[in-house]
Amino acid sequence: MSDRKFFVGGNWKMNGSITQYKSLITDLKNAKLDPKTQVVIAPPALYLLPAKDLLQDNDKIELSAQDGYHKPSGAFTGEISLVQLKDAGIPWVILGHSERRTIFHETDEDVATKTKAALEQGVNVILCVGETLEQREKNESIKVVISQVEAAAKNINDWSKVVIAYEPVWAIGTGKVATAEQAEEVHKAIRDWLAKSVSAEVAKTERIIYGGSVNGKNAKELASQPDIDGFLVGGASLKPEFVDIVNARL
């Protein structure tokens, strides 16, 4: 097991209500969480500031936005800028999630531009990468994932502000999970690329987390892999089993 701090993010996506977010956060605050695990939750943007108020007396749960726009301000109806996230005191942002790439057609270049804007504002980035089922069946998984990392890497000067989340698109919300061996293979490939293309130190310290139908039952096996440093959790982050996932290394 590495000395990289275990990281578990909860991406609520477009779910929840005022009643639900209050309940989820209260339950999480009262839960016994592994103190060695960094926990970050990403409620819908509408609930970020009231969630921040709920968490103000807490030092074990941080907040993330689910996306951010690279322009600081302007006529971009519906968007939230990285400048505004910084102003609101939101320390993290998820960028490049497969749903942003597939549904909203964000390109590698879009994600790279947003990553640059986030880091310029001092907002930490959960950088999502992953291949489709078609790409996996063509044995292109590693090629696709590395190209996505490489595009963003051009705009990253401080890797301590970035967590890479490998999320195979075919395993998100489908109930299908990459086996521990499949996930480890891609995580190791990313780490090898970092060693070759960035530095040995970054490869050693960079946290690479897994996402894709992670739940309380499979988390421990996945967490036992040498290059898996945590999880980005979707649906299960809205359930009590999220605590089991946070505690996967206990």
Displacement of CA 176 from its chain's centroid (Å):
19
Question: Quick one: which of 126, 117, 62, 125 has its CA closest to 89?
Answer: 62
Q: Which distant-in-sequence residues (6+ apart) come within 8 Å of 24 by Cβ? A: 12, 16, 41, 238
Q: Which distant-in-sequence residues (6+ apart) come within 8 Å of 90 by Cβ? A: 48, 52, 63, 64, 65, 123
Count the residues in the chain. 250
Provide the annotated active-site residues. Answer: 97, 167
CB 203, CB 194: distance < 8 Å: yes
